[in-house]
Amino acid sequence: MTTAITTIIDMTGQRVLVTGAASGIGAATVELLLASGAEVVSLDRSELPSTLAGRVAVHVICDLTDVTAIDAAVASIDGEFDALCNIAGVPGTAPPATVIAVNVLALRHLTESIADRIRDGGSIVNVASIAGAGWPMTLAESHRLLATASFDDGRAWAEDQPMDGARAYNFSKEAVLVWSMSNALRWWDRGVRVNCVSPGPVETPILQDFRDSMGADRIQAGIDLVGGAGQPDGIAPAIVFLASRMAPWVNGTNIVADGGLLGVSMSQLPA
């Protein structure tokens, strides 16, 4: 299923930092932000595609597995932001500790490094996943990770956990949801909101990685149930809505963008 990128959200004069901007959902979000009039600062381990290169204000190359690189990237970017969109992530085909480092610890470290530069009334949007829907059952485990004092401490914790790639990915998204909800009031005195968007299977360059790490049959069953994989430009509007100033009282919540997959699956009676 495809959608056309259009916008009714006016973000003229607003400045947004987007991670994972070079492909997939990140690139589609940058495209929609630009169409909305926003100034975009992008961050990725890769260069931007030709369709976006030269259209963003600044593009920063950054390896989110390296806390020193994150700090250098933050230091290289001047000024304030109206929103931060944490979209970068890696699938379960990466080593488990790397999955947790990028998907959780880098997100936490970058956000905490940038938060004081987010203008009053601004927004933080984290991309989680329907793979994190089991967070209530693993809440204590998420809190153990999130209680680590630093990126390096968190990575050391992750390296001690007996997780395979699929579990590490699911857990990383559970932890993103927990971190986002538990920090919803952290910057609320300035009106800065923290929310999530949770996609289902999306046609991006890493969809095959999800097939490889989670099982091709399982991923295909979900895709077949809703009539096809999602498209990046079908996820981007939810992210841009939360990043904009149109949702000033939406805080600490999660928008599921999966064509109905999670709702249908969770509402069935046990066999």
Quote the CA–CA distance of 227 and 225 in Å, as a whole number: 6
- For every residue of 34-87, DSSP letters joined together read HHTT-EEEEEESSPPPTTTTTTSSEEEE--TT-HHHHHHHHHH--S-EEEEEE-
Q: What is the signed CA dihedral for 113, 90, 169, 102, rounded to 10 degrees?
A: -20
Nearest to 204 by CA among 10, 17, 49, 59: 49
Is-catalytic flag, 169? yes
The pair phi, psi for residue 266, each rounded to 5°, is -80, -15
Q: What is the signed CA dihedral for 263, 241, 19, 70, rounded to 10 degrees?
A: -100
Which of these is catalytic: 81, 135, 151, 169? 169
DSSP E strand stretches across 145-243 = 193-199
- DSSP letter assigned to residue 147: T
Residues with catalytic annotation?
A: 169
